[in-house]
Amino acid sequence: MGGVLRRYGPVLTAAILLAVAVWLLLLVVLPQLLMVDFSFRPSLPPSKAGGPEDVYTLRNYATLWTNQIHLAIFLKTIWASSLVTAVTLAVCYPVAFYMAQVAPRRRLPLLVLMLVVPFWINELLRTFAWYIILAFNGPLNALLVGLGIFSEPQRLLGGDAGVIIGMVYVYILFMVFPMMNAMESLDRNQIEAARDLGAGWLRIHRRIVIPHAKPGIAVGCIMTFMLAAGSYAVPALLGGPQSRWFTEVIYNWFFEGGNWNQGAAYAFILLILCVAFILLMMRLFRVGLTDIAK
């Protein structure tokens, strides 16, 4: 804070802090408070609002545990989001390590650009591209049949597989860059010393690289899980009735069922899930908020 004050002066610093405070209050705090208030109230017609029936209740939260279909979708969303996070981590770890420790410095801007440029396109368009790729008569099925892996085209859309593939692609940057940022600060001499002492690549990564990159891995897992659990466009476009996401249920409560109170309760449950996942990652990787903020 002292550095910001010295750099920008008291007037500009005060203006920046005021803008941040207003942004947090209007776009983060107040909507969340309204959502919490809605979630504890029953869904009533306007004529009964503020009347004797308009009292705080846990009925909206209890609905999730009594509705077996919604509970199954909620649990499947947790499992599938965790799977998306694990697959994205497995795909992005070698990419992040190569860019941070192996790639020549002169090639790094080009590699970063190759990763970023596809994401200049809107997320919906990128998801529609995967809809075409995974279609029954799409190029992926044609390639797999041509290679003899499948004897006939398979339905890759309308199930969990298509949704997971789409999400891994959509959120890949949120895993790559935090890990790359953490790995860049690792001294290459430590890796070279370990190799000179006879350590294999698996042991080098397990004993040197991964412990050093724990904050970046934690941030990548947190961001990927939260985005996957809160995604609506990807499961709506690539999924089907058998692969519904919890966000689709929330959307139905708000915009089709007209029950904003029930939708707010479900949304708050999803928020609690994401906070619990953050705490789990911090405990699993033994990192604090200061480490994550780096």
Query: Does position 102 have pLDDT exceeding 90, yes or no?
Result: no
Most confident of 132-141, 211-220, 233-242: 211-220
Helices (DSSP H) in the chain: which residue ranges? 2-24, 30-39, 59-66, 68-97, 108-116, 123-133, 139-146, 160-170, 173-184, 188-196, 201-204, 210-212, 214-229, 233-238, 246-251, 260-284, 289-293
Quick one: pLDDT band at residue 3, thresholds 50, 70, 90? low
Q: Is residue 34 domain-resident?
A: no
pLDDT of residue 5: 66
Q: Is residue 36 domain-resident?
A: no
Q: Is residue 266 domain-resident?
A: yes
Radius of gyration of the chain (CA): 23
Dist. CA 77–CA 246, nearest whole Å: 6
Of 20-29, 97-106, 151-160, 243-252, the range with the lowest mean pLDDT is 151-160
pLDDT of residue 220: 92
Q: Is residue 142 domain-resident?
A: yes
Place of tokens 């919890």: 246
DSSP letters for 119-134: GGS-HHHHHHHHHHHT
pLDDT (tens digit, 9 = 90+) per residue, 198-208?
888 888 888 89
pLDDT of residue 189: 85
Q: Is residue 112 domain-resident?
A: yes
Residue 191 in tokens: 């890796």
| pTM greater than the 0.95 cutoff | no
Q: Domains in the chain: how many in total?
A: 1
Query: Does position 285 have pLDDT exceeding 70, yes or no?
Result: yes
- Range(s) of the domain holding residue 83: 66-293
pLDDT of residue 257: 81
Whether 102 contacts 184, CB under 8 Å: no
pLDDT of residue 104: 86
Q: What are the two backbone dihedrals, phi and then psi, of residue 148, each rounded to the nearest 5 degrees?
A: 85, 10
- Looking at residues 178-194, what average pLDDT do you find? 88
Query: Does position 1 have pLDDT exceeding 60, yes or no?
Result: no
Q: What percentage of the chain has pLDDT greater than the value 90?
A: 27
pLDDT of residue 51: 76
- Looking at residues 124-146, what average pLDDT do you find? 86
pLDDT (tens digit, 9 = 90+) per residue, 14-43?
888 889 899 889 888 898 888 888 899 888
Quick one: pLDDT band at residue 292, thresholds 50, 70, 90? low
Quick one: pLDDT band at residue 115, thresholds 50, 70, 90? confident
pLDDT of residue 237: 86
Q: Is residue 244 domain-resident?
A: yes
Q: Is residue 157 domain-resident?
A: yes
pLDDT of residue 123: 81
Q: Is residue 46 domain-resident?
A: no
pLDDT of residue 174: 92
Query: Does position 9 have pLDDT exceeding 80, yes or no?
Result: no
pLDDT of residue 73: 92
State the CATH number of the domain containing residue 110: 1.10.3720.10
